[in-house]
Amino acid sequence: MDGRLNGTVALVTGASSGIGEATATTLAREGAAVAVTARRGDRLAGLCDRVRDAGGTALPLTADMTDEAQVREAVERTVAELGRLDTLVNNAGLMILGPAAGATTQEWRRMVDINLTGLMNTTHIALPHLVRAAADSPRRVADIVNVSSVAGRIAFAGSAAYCATKYGVVAFSEALRQETADHHVRVSVVEPGSVDTELRDHNSPAVLEALTRRFGGIDRLQSQDIADAIGYIVGRPRHVAVAEMLVRPTQQV
């Protein structure tokens, strides 16, 4: 493992599947030591074995994003065991769709807790470490990459609560970007269109049918497409900040 991120440490949330797993693998390939979090520890262990087999360094950290104490422990173990924190990828997320009138407030709370509050708490806990990393070697810059969505830029009927969380991520990221720019802590938002992952699996059969009608006929993105976007953002030289990247499948309108 040898590349632009040699000597750096990255923490990727939601790395047990999909975009997070591909991103951790990509950052490790570029030379970063990676700490990975999610609830499914068996998946994290498999990912870390693959990274190590390829010559990299990986640390699995089972944590529920909705539990601030577990998030704190994951960030602190990353710094204690890997030595520093240069890159935070806030990727963990949940998408439950459907008309607002038919939703339960418990579903809404879960999405806000994971997609928004969890992301904000992780950022808050990680920030002092990122500021410190940006102030010393190796790259004198640090990164927070927040995974929002096209649904964080355009609201759609049938996804009010999910859109609210992803719009929230965009707003939080832009304000934070302005606050941390002087410290050389870059804050970026990635807004994927439809990606072929497990994300939709938590939905009702009616929603799954609607999603298949909408996206079934198009060539959707793969997780690696978004991991490549994140790798590009983090790999920029110190004076270049990519604030936002919206990546759709070519045929998604």
Contact positions toward ligand NDP, by CB under 6 A? 14-20, 38-40, 64-66, 91-95, 114, 147, 149, 192, 194-195, 197-199
Q: Which is nearer to ligand NDP, 180 or 197 (CB)?
A: 197
User: Packing angle between helix 160-180 and helix 119-135, nearest 10 degrees?
Assistant: 20
Contact 231, 30 (CB under 8 A): yes
* Annotated catalytic residue, options 75, 91, 162, 172: 162
3 state SS of 251: coil
Q: Which is nearer to ligand NDP, 4 or 248 (CB)?
A: 248
Q: Which is nearer to ligand NDP, 4 or 202 (CB)?
A: 202
Active site residue 162: yes
| CA gap 29, 5 in Å, rounded | 9
Q: What angle do CA 27, 31, 33 make, to 5 degrees?
A: 75
Sheet holding 9-13, edge to edge: 58-62, 33-38, 9-13, 87-90, 142-147, 185-192, 244-247
Which residues are catalytically annotated?
Answer: 162
